[in-house]
C-alpha cells in the first residue's frame, strides 16, 4: 500500500520520510566515472529506495518487466520516472544498460528474481536457485562497481543504507569471474534477508525454475 503514497513524496519533503546512510559510496562511484550496479532486492519499499535516490540527484536507471495490464504499466512507469530516473524494459535493455554504465549512470537491479532457463544455479537460502547473471556480467564488462543498497523501516521512517562496493573477482577467465561474482552478489542479498527476514517480499517466486531447467557453472 505504501507504493500508492509515493506521489505525495517529493524532493522537497523526502527527508521527512527517509534517512540515508552511506551516500559517500555513490559519490565515490560517480567520481570514478564507470557508473554502478545498484544491488537490491524485493526488500522493504524498494520502489521508494530507487525514487529517493533519484530525488537526491543520482542518475538512476530502473529495469522493469511490462505488466499484463497496460494501464498499470503506464502508472508504474509514471511513478518510477517522475523524479528524473529512467526505465528500461527487459528484453531490449542489454545495449541500453551498457551505454548507461559507460555514461556514468546507476543501474538499479532487483536481484532476487528467478533466472529461468538461462539462469545460473546458485545456492540461495540453502536451496539451488536459477539466478540471472546480468549484475555480474554487466559489472565485469564495464568495470563498474556493484554497490548494495537496501531500504528498511525503522519506526515511522524508512532508512536507505548504501554499503561499500562488493569485492569482486577479476581475472582473464570471464566465465569463472561471472560465476564467482554471482555467488558473492547472491550471498549479499541472502545476508540482508537473513538479517531482516520480515522485510523480504519475493520468496514465493524465487525458486520457480527446477534444477534441470537452467544452466550450471559447468555448462
* Domains in the chain: ranges and CATH: 2-213 (3.40.1130)
For residue 21, the model assigns a pLDDT of 98
pLDDT at 173 > cutoff 70? yes
For residue 1, the model assigns a pLDDT of 47
CA neighbor of 160 nearest in space, from 37, 65, 54:
54
201 — pLDDT class (breaks 50, 70, 90): confident
For residue 61, the model assigns a pLDDT of 92
* Cβ contact 87:67 at 8 Å: no
Q: Please state, in angstroms and rounded to a whole number, the distance separating the CA atoms of residues 129 and 111.
A: 12
68 — pLDDT class (breaks 50, 70, 90): low
3-state secondary structure of 88: strand
Please state which of the ranges 86-100, 117-131, 151-165 shows the lowest mean pLDDT.
86-100
CA neighbor of 149 nearest in space, from 130, 135, 137, 138:
135
18 — pLDDT class (breaks 50, 70, 90): very high
Total Cβ atoms within 10 A of residue 186: 22
| Mean predicted confidence (pLDDT) in 52-63 | 91
Residue with cell 538461462: 118
For residue 16, the model assigns a pLDDT of 85
69 — pLDDT class (breaks 50, 70, 90): low
pLDDT at 93 > cutoff 90? no
For residue 19, the model assigns a pLDDT of 95
For residue 71, the model assigns a pLDDT of 63
What is the percent of the chain with per-residue pLDDT over 70, rounded to a whole number?
82
Q: Please state, in angstroms and rounded to a whole number, the distance separating the CA atoms of residues 127 and 145.
A: 27
Q: Please state, in angstroms and rounded to a whole number, the distance separating the CA atoms of residues 153 and 173.
A: 41
What secondary structure letter does DSSP report for 2?
Answer: G
Average pLDDT, the chain: 87
Amino acid at each position: 500500500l505504501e507504493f500508492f503514497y509515493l506521489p505525495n513524496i517529493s524532493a522537497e519533503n523526502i527527508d521527512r520520510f527517509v534517512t540515508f546512510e552511506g551516500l559517500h559510496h555513490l559519490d565515490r562511484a560517480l567520481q570514478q566515472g564507470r557508473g554502478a550496479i545498484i544491488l537490491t532486492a524485493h526488500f522493504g519499499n524498494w520502489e521508494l529506495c530507487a525514487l529517493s535516490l533519484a530525488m537526491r540527484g543520482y542518475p538512476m536507471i530502473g529495469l522493469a518487466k511490462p505488466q499484463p495490464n497496460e494501464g498499470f504499466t503506464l502508472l508504474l512507469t509514471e511513478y518510477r520516472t517522475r523524479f528524473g530516473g529512467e526505465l528500461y524494459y527487459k528484453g531490449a535493455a542489454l545495449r541500453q544498460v551498457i551505454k548507461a554504465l559507460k555514461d556514468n549512470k546507476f543501474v538499479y537491479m532487483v536481484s532476487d528474481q528467478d533466472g529461468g532457463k538461462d539462469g545460473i544455479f546458485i545456492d540461495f537460502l540453502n536451496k539451488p536457485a536459477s539466478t540471472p547473471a546480468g549484475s555480474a556480467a554487466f559489472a565485469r564488462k564495464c568495470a563498474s562497481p556493484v554497490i548494495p543498497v537496501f531500504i528498511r523501516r525503522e519506526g515511522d521512517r524508512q532508512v536507505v543504507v548504501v554499503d561499500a562496493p562488493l569485492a569482486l573477482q577479476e581475472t582473464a577467465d570471464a566465465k569463472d569471474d561471472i560465476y564467482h561474482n554471482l555467488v558473492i552478489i547472491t550471498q549479499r542479498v541472502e545476508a540482508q534477508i537473513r538479517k531482516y527476514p520480515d522485510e523480504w517480499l519475493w520468496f514465493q517466486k524465487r525458486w520457480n525454475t527446477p534444477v534441470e531447467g537452467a544452466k550450471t557453472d559447468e555448462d
